[in-house]
């Protein structure tokens, strides 16, 4: 186990080996890309583990840094009060006296982590090439002298990719380039791993987000070997589906598709039944309706099929067992949207399933070549957590239908038949991985839903009795 950490699980898992005593890390990027946030995260994560951090700023004031970081759950003031952080502000134009003051603090405070914010300000103030080279070497040797880690924050001008730090780039142990770009008015963030000695770089660019009260989170795609088979079987709430599907597993991906011009809500009752008979809690994400509208649809659908409806009791059950969130995918962008959803799962305790309503809409935000890899990685992240995933979408075209079906374990597809006496009916395609496909009539499906109603009502009544 490494002595030092990033304080971000996936970075620690894949790149933690670069954080060893004597290493120098460069965190570079455009203004506002998150450099200070990443450096402060490392500082704070190690300080709370008992390792002293010295933060040397040539631009940021202590008050502003502490205030902004506290919004991201990085409480620098707390670790400072505990003697685990020292902040010093130096003038941008640094002379020999400034270097001596840094050396004096190093000897007196004995930090394990030193952050220079930013190295550009120091190097640009030194015009003499020999002195500049000496200064670069001074910071490289700093890591060895403290037997810890030096983190250099470097500014990259807008529109450029080069760091322009001279020999520092060659002697550093890791270089992380933080990038952010605005696409259709939406901010996307990426960390480029340009260099990482001692770590295998399997992914050169990693999406990340910075959120208030959360901080910086990265979204590494899970390795397939990490996704273990799920042993927990889930019951189905009607005999017809038990006959056709047998059972579900946590980690399964269920895809439900209906015609775009003839959307029905009947399937929502089936979802409610799966949650009820297995005592599952779920997060439901709708890309089309508000949370209250989603709950209203569930209540109205239940009332349609119940012989003795108690809508208040059902809606109470829904509110207690389903966390409903709404996102406009065209206001986020795919990277940020899927990051928000993964973060939502992390922050919501005891969740067993996640349901996506209007799942075709995010596919219209980005080109398919961008959308599909991100979707696949997100679904594998949910599989890794052992979540049942249910995706509900309108039929858009055969390409999207085939892709959504390919990445699913179970498919329920509603198709309209030719009208009889002016009335359209549904034919329902039913398939589960490892079994043959079946077609059932809408009458058969409705009978299943009436059975589901009774099952859900029984579960709700038993819950009321036990409470």
> Among the residues of 91-227, which ranges form H helices?
96-109, 119-124, 129-146, 167-171
Calpha distance 206→221 (Å, rounded): 9
Q: Are residues 49 and 97 in the same domain?
A: yes
Any domain includes 42: yes
Residues composing the chain: 467
Residue 391: pLDDT above 60?
yes
Total domain count, the chain: 2
The whole-number average pLDDT for the span 290-294 is 96
**Residues 414/266, Cβ–Cβ less than 8 Å:** no
Q: Are residues 248 and 351 in the same domain?
A: yes
The CATH number that applies at residue 447 is 3.40.50.300
Residues 223-234: pLDDT tens digits? 767 777 777 899
Nearest one of 220, 203, 231 to 381, comparing CA atoms:
220
Residues 50-73: pLDDT tens digits? 999 999 998 889 999 999 999 999
Instruction: From 173, 204, 220, give the residue that closes a domain.
Output: 220
**Residues 136/166, Cβ–Cβ less than 8 Å:** yes
The whole-number average pLDDT for the span 444-455 is 94
Tell which wins on pLDDT, 141 or 406. Answer: 406
Any domain includes 119: yes
Give me the chain's average pLDDT, please: 88
Q: How far is residue 259 from each of residues 12, 248, 381, 389, measured CA to CA in Å? A: 45, 25, 29, 21
Instruction: Calculate helix-pair angle for 311-321, 442-466, nearest 10 degrees.
Output: 80
Q: Cis peptide leading into 118, omega within 30 of 0?
A: yes
Any domain includes 389: yes
Q: Are residues 353 and 437 in the same domain?
A: yes
Say which DSSP state 213 is in: T
Phi, psi angle pair for 438, to nearest 5°: -135, 160
Structural domain harbouring 292: 226-466
Chain Cα centroid distance, residue 228? 20
Q: Is 2 exposed, middle or buried (0-12, 13-18, 19+ CB in 10 A)?
A: exposed
Say which DSSP state 147 is in: T
Q: Are residues 204 and 286 in the same domain?
A: no
Binned at pLDDT 50, 70 and 90, residue 410 comes out as very high
pLDDT for residue 401: 95
Any domain includes 3: no
> Among the residues of 308-416, which ranges form H helices?
311-321, 334-347, 368-384, 398-406
Any domain includes 29: yes
Any domain includes 162: yes
Any domain includes 1: no
Q: Are residues 176 and 98 in the same domain?
A: yes
Q: Are residues 157 and 294 in the same domain?
A: no
Residues 27-54: pLDDT tens digits? 999 888 999 999 999 999 999 999 999 9
Binned at pLDDT 50, 70 and 90, residue 185 comes out as low
Calpha distance 466→319 (Å, rounded): 18
Calpha distance 309→457 (Å, rounded): 9
Binned at pLDDT 50, 70 and 90, residue 217 comes out as confident
**Residues 358/287, Cβ–Cβ less than 8 Å:** yes
Could you tell me the pTM of the whole model? Answer: 0.80
Q: Are residues 241 and 289 in the same domain?
A: yes
Q: Are residues 367 and 311 in the same domain?
A: yes
Q: Are residues 172 and 291 in the same domain?
A: no
């Amino acid at each position: 186990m490494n002595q030092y950490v990033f304080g971000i699980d996936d970075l620690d898992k894949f790149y933690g080996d670069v954080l060893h005593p004597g290493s120098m890390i460069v965190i570079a990027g455009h203004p506002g890309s998150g450099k200070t946030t990443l450096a402060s995260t490392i500082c704070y994560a190690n300080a709370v583990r008992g390792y002293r951090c010295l933060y040397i700023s040539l631009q940021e004031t202590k008050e502003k840094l502490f205030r902004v970081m506290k919004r991201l759950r990085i409480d620098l003031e707390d670790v400072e009060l505990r003697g685990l952080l020292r902040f010093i502000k130096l003038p941008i134009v640094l002379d020999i006296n400034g270097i001596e003051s840094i050396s004096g603090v190093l000897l007196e405070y004995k930090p394990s982590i030193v952050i220079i914010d930013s190295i550009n300000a120091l190097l640009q103030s030194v015009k003499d090439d020999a002195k500049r080279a000496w200064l670069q070497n001074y910071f490289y040797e700093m890591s060895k002298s403290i037997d810890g880690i030096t983190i250099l924050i470097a500014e990259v001008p807008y529109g450029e990719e080069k760091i322009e730090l001279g020999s520092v780039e060659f002697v550093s142990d890791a270089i992380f380039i933080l990038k952010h770009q605005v696409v259709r008015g939406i901010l996307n963030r990426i960390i480029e791993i340009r260099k990482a000695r001692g770590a295998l770089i399997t992914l050169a660019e990693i999406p990340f987000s910075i959120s208030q009260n959360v901080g910086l989170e990265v979204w590494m795609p899970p390795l397939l070997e990490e996704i273990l088979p799920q042993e927990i079987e889930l019951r189905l709430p009607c005999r017809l589906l038990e006959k056709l599907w047998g059972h579900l597993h946590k980690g399964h991906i269920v895809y439900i598709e209906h015609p775009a011009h003839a959307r029905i809500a009947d399937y929502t009752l089936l979802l409610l039944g799966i949650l009820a008979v297995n005592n599952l809690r779920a997060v439901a994400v709708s890309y089309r309706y508000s949370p209250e509208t989603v709950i209203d649809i569930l209540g109205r659908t239940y009332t349609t099929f119940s012989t003795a409806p108690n809508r208040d009791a059902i809606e109470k059950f829904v509110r207690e067992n389903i966390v409903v969130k709404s996102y406009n995918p065209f206001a986020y962008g795919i990277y940020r949207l899927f990051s928000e959803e993964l973060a939502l799962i992390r922050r919501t305790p005891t969740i067993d399933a996640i349901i996506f309503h209007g799942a075709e809409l995010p596919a219209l935000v980005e080109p398919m070549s961008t959308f599909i890899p991100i979707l696949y990685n997100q679904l594998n992240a949910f599989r890794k957590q052992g979540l049942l995933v249910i995706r509900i979408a309108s039929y858009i075209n055969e390409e999207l239908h085939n892709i959504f079906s390919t990445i699913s374990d179970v498919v329920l597809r509603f198709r309209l038949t030719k009208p009889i006496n002016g009335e359209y009916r549904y034919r329902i395609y039913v398939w589960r991985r490892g079994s043959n496909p079946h077609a059932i009539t809408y009458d058969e499906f409705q009978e299943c839903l009436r059975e589901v109603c009774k099952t859900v009502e029984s579960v709700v009544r038993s819950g009321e009795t036990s409470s």
